[in-house]
Chains A and B, each alone.
Chain A
């Protein structure tokens, strides 16, 4: 900084004998300039009134310097962490569920009863379900104790829902991919596409029924659909829903669901539930 407040101006400011416009420019500069702040401190030390006030204020401060606690900086990344991790009481429930179920599917190479003699890993059936269960658990208002207050905030509507859905996908999909690679279960593309379509359909349906119910409906539909498609065609290695040919259909469904969510986004602005039934005590 090349310009600094003159000593004359500093002492005029310290004593209060200064025009407003000058005081303003001094203050603007002091806010930005450490050197002049220190110079003013030296100036104030020569003023009895100011130096007394400053000296006498310190003990009151020093006596109250308790330990500072776990304070955190405010940043966009901190915001993301808080909003994503702050699900219901069981913060990491969905995460653990994903890991445990997929580990089971991978480790045991478990097969579903859908295949009628063919080996269809449980993974293909379960993996697409996980994201919707995760979303339901982390957002479904019936499960979130603080939903009543959340619903009154600007960030509590569709933004939070999408954020949490994305975070659930971001965790479960890689886990699913790894498990798939371990079990040697064909191409992951079909069930990835199915996953995406299911979660988006859940969100679209949630604009009408609420998240919890939407997840239940879509989940049930998925299992039923799988069972029916497997029963219908015994010659196929995988049920039609997980067939590579189904991928374009899933993508179409996804696009349609996105359109529904976009059109009905205002439905996420209100809670569909009465005030929370659980009484605190």
Chain B
């Protein structure tokens, strides 16, 4: 998709199918992602979270191939290597209320098998990057919803991941925090692959270099935010140019 494909792809998904009983959540998705910030848009139930969970190596695919950082996920031996270089913030993100922010982030630094001497500095850095430095020793149960989400983001970036998966990360963030968060995303996207599932079309317009729209388990649009805007030029549904593009992409897919 862009010029730097020469190193190999960070995320390479081919014909991915995920079924839950009779329901097909993903129905033949193809996706190749490199460094940059990639937006994942789609209506409720489109399959965004399902895709994220497969990429996070948490859920298994029914068929198709998925490789991360040039490792095939079906090879169990590579799984561990890949996981060390992953960051994941689930949509429904559970936490330990009695942990402090610092303990929480440290916990995941250990789970990600970081070198002991690197852990304290990495924890400090991650907490600083999400703007929670002054709350580092507060228990999670004392944080506001938005701060909690930032603690979740800190956990995801503590290992400086090559692939960062964020499922609805801006839910609950105030406008100022959202602006700072977009800045952080762009910074991370300079040399990592960031995939952000969201409903907030303006997040995508501002922070993302690429967009994928999924609908009913299929990737129905791939391109830049500008491409998506262009796709909506003939529609009047939606409040912003990019929203119109999004609506048009979904409509076109449903007609097919």
Do A and B interact directly, with beta carbons closer than 8 Å?
yes
A residues neighboring B (CB under 8 Å): 66, 69-76, 78-79, 82-83, 86, 88-89, 91, 144-156, 160, 266, 269-271, 275-281
B200 within 8 A of A: no
- Which of A70, A83, A270, A281 is close to B137, meaning CB atoms less than 8 Å apart? A70
Residues from chain A with Cβ under 8 Å of B84 in the complex: 154
Complex: A157 Cα to B99 Cα, angstroms: 21
**A75-B116, A82-B103, A270-B60 given; A275·B49 CB < 8 A:** yes
Interface contact B59-A270, CB-CB below 8 Å: yes
Q: Are A147 and B112 in contact (CB under 8 A)?
A: no
B106 within 8 A of A: yes
Beta-carbon contacts under 8 Å, B91-106 to A: 91-100, 102-103, 106
Q: Once the chains are docked, how many angstroms separate the CA of A151 from the CA of B56? A: 9
CB pair B116–A149 under 8 Å, yes or no, is no
| Cβ distance A167 to chain B, nearest Cβ, rounded Å | 15
From known contacts A155-B113, A266-B76, infer whether A89 and B97 are also in contact, taking CB-CB under 8 Å. yes
A269 and B113 alpha carbons, distance in the complex (Å):
15
Q: Is the CB–CB distance between A152 and B106 below 8 Å?
A: no
| Cα distance A109–B76 in the bound complex, in angstroms | 50
List chain B residues, Cβ under 8 A from A79. Answer: 110, 116, 119
Which residue of B58, B88, B96 is within 8 Å of A145 (Cβ)?
A: B96
Name the residue in A86, A153, A269, A279 with the highest tally of chain B Cβ atoms < 10 Å from its Cβ. Answer: A153
Residues of A within 8 A of B49 (CB): 275
Q: A75 vs B106: C-alpha distance in the bound complex, in angstroms? A: 12
Assembly CA distance A78 to B107 (angstroms): 10
Nearest 4 interchain pairs by C-beta: A145-B94, A74-B119, A153-B111, A154-B83
Residues of A within 8 A of B156 (CB): 149
Task: Point out the residues of chain A lying under 8 angstroms from B81, CB to CB.
Answer: 154
Cα–Cα, bound, A71→B121 (Å): 10
CA distance A71 to B117 in the complex (A): 13
B134 contacts A by Cβ under 8 Å:
yes
B145 in complex: contacting residue of A70, A71, A150, A281, CB < 8 Å: A281
CB-defined contacts of B155 to chain A, threshold 8 Å? 149
Q: Is the CB of A82 within 8 A of B107?
A: yes
